[in-house]
């Protein structure tokens, strides 16, 4: 159900992306799972996190119009979301990505990604698989699967990069440069995005 790749990124890129995320501090920490960005096919990265997104997209080998990405940051005893389906939340009809994926930046107690075989058409799961958070571990699964995060003691911040692959851009999801958010990913809070 879930493909797991250890050592998914060059370690230097994974560390650069993690340092970029650290520069965010507590900015939008509670909203991190709901602060999403679009990166279309053929786009150039605006910072190290988008470099990581592009490298993960290449590793996944999914042909699509683009990817929706976000930085998941939470303590495992205060998770902002429950088990859910990834979908175009603002769209007029339910639409799921072709595939979903989670890249782990750190090891934490608890915080396992759990993926089930439940889909919107199959109302009860018959199997599930869990993936422990480890530095540079990448988990990929079908975009219409019920999944979530297991609670834990919450002593450390769980940091992930979520990349979902779409046939067409999800409704009202801006690119990072369009959004005006997370400017610190470039190195300073006042940095302007790179031109495409």
* Within a domain: 54: yes
The count of structural domains within the chain is 1
Cα(64)–Cα(9) distance, integer angstroms:
21
* Longest CA–CA separation in the chain, Å: 49
* Within a domain: 77: yes
Tally of CB atoms within 10 A around 145: 23
* Within a domain: 97: yes
Q: What is the pLDDT of residues 61-82, one digit of tens each?
A: 999 999 999 999 999 998 998 9
Quick check: helix, strand or coil at residue 102? strand
Residue 188 has pLDDT above 60, yes or no: no
CATH number of the domain encompassing residue 108: 2.60.120.620
Q: What is the pLDDT of residues 14-45, one digit of tens each?
A: 999 999 999 999 999 999 999 999 999 999 99
- CB burial class (10 A; 0-12, 13-18, 19+) of residue 6? exposed
* Within a domain: 59: yes
pLDDT band at 92; cut points 50, 70, 90:
confident
Instruction: Give the pTM.
Output: 0.93
Answer yes or no: are the C-beta atoms of 131 and 21 closer than 8 Å: no
Domain containing 98: what range? 3-186
* Within a domain: 193: no
Going from the C-alpha of 150 to that of each of 11, 15, 75, 82, the distances in angstroms are 26, 25, 11, 9
* Within a domain: 23: yes
- CB burial class (10 A; 0-12, 13-18, 19+) of residue 90? exposed
Of 18-22, 106-110, 184-188, least confident by mean pLDDT is 184-188
Token code pair at residue 10: 């060059």
Q: What is the pLDDT of residues 110-163, one digit of tens each?
A: 999 999 999 999 889 999 999 999 999 999 999 999 999 999 887 789 999 999
Chain centre to alpha carbon of residue 116: 18
* Within a domain: 191: no
* Within a domain: 60: yes
């Amino acid at each position: 159900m879930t493909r797991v790749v250890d050592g998914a990124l060059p370690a230097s890129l994974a560390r650069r992306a993690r340092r970029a995320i650290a520069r965010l501090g507590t900015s939008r920490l509670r909203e991190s799972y709901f602060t999403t960005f679009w990166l279309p096919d053929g786009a150039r990265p605006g910072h190290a996190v988008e470099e990581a997104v592009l490298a993960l997209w290449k590793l996944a080998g999914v042909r699509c119009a683009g990817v929706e990405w976000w930085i998941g940051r939470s303590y495992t005893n205060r998770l902002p979301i429950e088990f859910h389906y990834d979908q175009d939340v603002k769209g007029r009809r339910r639409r799921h990505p072709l595939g979903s994926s989670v890249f782990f930046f750190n090891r934490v107690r608890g915080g396992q990604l759990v993926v089930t075989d439940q889909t919107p058409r199959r109302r009860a799961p018959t199997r599930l698989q869990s993936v422990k958070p480890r530095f540079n571990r990448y988990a990929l699964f079908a975009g219409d699967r019920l999944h979530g995060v297991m609670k834990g003691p919450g002593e450390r911040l769980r940091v992930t990069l979520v990349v979902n692959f779409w046939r067409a851009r999800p409704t009202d999801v801006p690119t990072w440069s369009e959004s005006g958010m997370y400017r610190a990913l470039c190195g300073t809070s006042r940095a302007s995005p790179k031109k495409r």
